[in-house]
Structure 1
């Protein structure tokens, strides 16, 4: 018998199935510019009438287009724009302060940390951290914790962190997370480090806040050509992926072999796990877990790697992250 949920699960069908859990919810999603998974996700769940979707991005013009698309899908769904840059702690703090000041939004039922950058040339954030680690992890770490009181004010608080199967390309580089100022930089391995961090963050959130009712999950969404791939040269003979193959070969993953390469998913498939982890009641017994194709990832089948499942590493990363953002969060 086929599993109830799988790679073939469709987002639209899941939205219908979980409609009662979506209706009336206040949902904040990072990274909602058109052409990305965040925008696809928001327009998909809008059909089930959440009460408010808070859209974030670096420019109002971009995310206003997503707000307009939501209005077309369901004119009853309210939207609110929140402009900030995850690569700037100052910007993150300002945005969190804005959220916390909203008297008409007393709680946030669901936070989806979806924004990110992928395989970019070496560079640093405003605060001096390698861009992928700083944007994909540290910015989200700081923002999430600064608005935690709003999240915990919900009757059903949940946080979903969008990671990637590409976490396989690197664990956390504890002694060199900044890649020796670019001297040791490999863009896919740096992306892998940031995605490992996403998974470990969900583990820590579940460990620290489950007693307060928080559910936290991480996930691999699937493979889909979005604006996330803007730094890939698809006109190159290898599609701009030779350094990914080099990273796979260095790490010795099964994905170094062409027959194990992932196929591109459809729009319906690529946000299905987003929807599943956001609204399924069946996964509450798997708090902190990483999901792959709408199921708990299988370590034996290399869907998740050991460096991303360690509670010890999760706690170590939390402590490092507090140090790097300059603030402790004790729960």
Structure 2
């Protein structure tokens, strides 16, 4: 098996993992054009998956990406799924639809996300970043996994896209909503949601590893995609990402990555068979690197606390 680097592109890793991709049935959330999820979908579509489900909250956007895929690979077996992760009603409907498919999904890549947004509530009254980035994916994925287990399928891999930003904060178990916004910090809220993505992978590995479920979280790299839409010029300057003239700071220390390099990390985490014995781990630069994670983000006790909190917030128990 080839070794992948931080600079590996989606095309390169797909070539190396082509035998794993061929015949696979996968679902990707957050597949807007130009996103890392959308870029991964385009790359994967060229290597003969048996099913490629494109999931997102806007049908027009899904159709645009589908048209892009079909323009390059007319035979790509795509299927579109409406999924608004900020609405538990939408999540339940989408999960039910997936479980009605004649096929069983092999791979779920949870790539959708919101970053550093102003204080907002989801349709269910949860802080937007936590509710979308974690709770929506938690509810959707668990229901799909229940269907998977009922069908006695052999294996499934769940990839949760986290961030270096998880180091901005742990999960606030007693107050994930920041006192109803009174003490809201958009970056701490983002960090909380990205920590939750990692802890969710830890829980899936612990609870369902012996039933054929593998899960990995990952840092896709520092990439300028649509996820930065909430950032102001002041935010970019404060982070050191831009110069005062508005140009991007291309200092090597920032290690900017392209969307295709970010997509490569999703693809490796989804398909690389050599990481199977590291279930629940955190991926950085296309390899398992748990030492790069904040301790609280991989802690089994924190994972269990988050699982219980998440069940309370969706009003449903899973795999108990």
Report the TM-score, using the length of structure 2 for normalisation.
0.92
Residue 298 of structure 1 and its aligned partner are, at CA, apart by 4.5
2:270 is equivalent to residue 278 of structure 1: yes
Q: State the match for 1:113 in structure 2.
A: 110
Tell me how far 1:241 sits from its aligned partner: 3.8
C-alpha distance in 2, partners of 1:151/1:17?
28
Deviations 1:245-285 (A, max 9, x none): xxxxxxxxxxxxxx895332123321121111110010011
Match of 1:125 among 122, 135, 151: 122
Aligned mates of 1:260, 1:178 — CA distance in 2? 36
* 1:33–1:144 CA distance, 2 compared to 1 (3 A): same
Determine the structure 2 residue equivalent to 1:251. none
Match of 2:201 in 1: 202
Q: How many residues are aligned here?
A: 309
Q: Which runs of 5+ in 1 are unaligned?
A: 245-258
Name 1:310's counterpart in structure 2: 299
CA distance in 1, matches of 2:83, 2:4: 35
Alpha-carbon distance in 2 for matches of 1:41, 1:264: 18
Does the C-alpha gap of structure 1 residues 17 and 151 become closer, same or farther in structure 2, counting only changes over 3 Å?
A: farther
> Using the alignment, how far apart are the partners of 1:140 and 1:28 within structure 2?
12
Alignment partner of 1:262 out of 240, 254, 257: 254
Tell me, yes or no, if structure 1 residue 325 matches structure 2 residue 311: no
Q: How does 1:1-331 map to 2 (within 5 A)?
A: 4-102=3-101, 104-105=102-103, 107-152=104-149, 153=151, 154-234=153-233, 236=234, 239=236, 241=238, 262-299=254-291, 303-331=292-320
Aligned-partner Cα distance in 2 for 1:13–1:243: 31
The CA distance in 2 between the partners of 1:136 and 1:43, in whole Å, is 22
Asked whether the equivalents of residues 31 and 37 of structure 2 are also in contact (C-alpha less than 8 Å), the reply is yes
Residues 49, 74 of structure 1: 8 Å contact kept: no
CA shift for structure 1 position 326 = 0.3
Secondary structure of the structure 1 residue equivalent to 2:125: coil
Q: Which runs of 5+ in 2 are unaligned?
A: 242-250
Q: 1:316 aligns to what SS in structure 2?
A: helix
Would the aligned equivalents of 1:232 and 1:241 in 2 still touch at CA under 8 Å? Answer: no
- The aligned counterpart of 1:248 is none
> C-alpha distance in 2, partners of 1:78/1:240?
43
CA deviation profile, 1:127-167 (whole Å, cap 9, x unmatched): 11100000000000000111113444443311101111100
CA contact (8 A) 2:34 2:259 kept: no
C-alpha distance in 2 between matches for 1:197 and 1:26? 26
CA distance in 1, matches of 2:220, 2:315: 31
Q: Deviations along 1:50-91, whole A, 9 cap, x unmatched?
A: 011111111110011111111123222111111121011111
Instruction: Give the RMSD, CA atoms, in angstroms.
Output: 2.0
SS at match of 1:216: strand
